[in-house]
Amino acid sequence: MAKLYFRYGAMNSGKSTSLLQAAYNYEERGQHVLLAKPEIDTKGADQISSRLGMQREVDFLIAPGADLRALFAEHRERVRVHAEEALIPEARTGDAPPDVACLLVDEAQFLTPEQVDDLLRIVVLDGVPVLAYGIRTDFQTHAFPGSRRLLELAHSLEELKTICRCGRKALFNARLVGGRFVFDGDQVAIDELSADRVTYESMCAECYLRESGGRLQ
């Protein structure tokens, strides 16, 4: 039975690397996959990039108001048509044409709750497994709407672990603007904020509270 998987972790826990490895594993066995990510993630434009230097272009971007199941169906049909055309005539039979073996979604925290509902429909009604990768909480320790819905609906939850500067397990994602920690602002800030470079650091609870002065929003 197909399942919806949510693999989550703090920043720099290897989520994109894991996704690209999963895609490779499917394709090494001759299976077809589709890769997608929310359009709001402008980092890398239409690519998924890992800290190890691996990158790959996504098959489609997901706009904030998009019907994700319909979008998937459109690209699934494209895969089927291309796979069927690639078969030599002698190999064609009356069997079902080659199909998508898995949908892999990066930066799934940026999906809307309705789009996460669509992921479950893709799994249950369309019979295609979905691997969704993302971070659980924002820089103020609040759950992203997409992540919250995935935690509610996913058949399988897997935490991808990374460590804080102190060596403890990292839980939170602290935001730095121009190299200084900030604890106020919009939930999403990917490229620039106030003309300063935005970066993030994975931190344990102790280090996060130390930098925030004990604040939890």
Q: What are the residue numbers of the active site?
A: 107
Tell me, what amino acid is at 153?
L
Tokens of 41: 């993630």
Phi, psi of 116 (to 5 degrees): -65, -40
In the chain, DSSP assigns E strands to 4-8, 32-38, 47-49, 55-57, 60-62, 100-105, 130-134, 156-159, 172-177, 180-182, 192-193, 196-203
CA-to-CA separations, 37 to 48, 55, 78, 80, 98, in angstroms, rounded: 8, 13, 18, 21, 23
HSE at residue 111, side-chain half, CA atoms within 13 A, is: 31
CA dihedral angle for residue 45, residue 112, residue 21, residue 101, rounded to 10 degrees = -110
Question: Measuring CA to CA, which residue among 114, 31, 41 is closest to residue 71?
Answer: 114
Composition of the chain by helix, strand, coil, percent to 5: 30, 25, 40
Query: Two tokens at 5?
Result: 């998987």
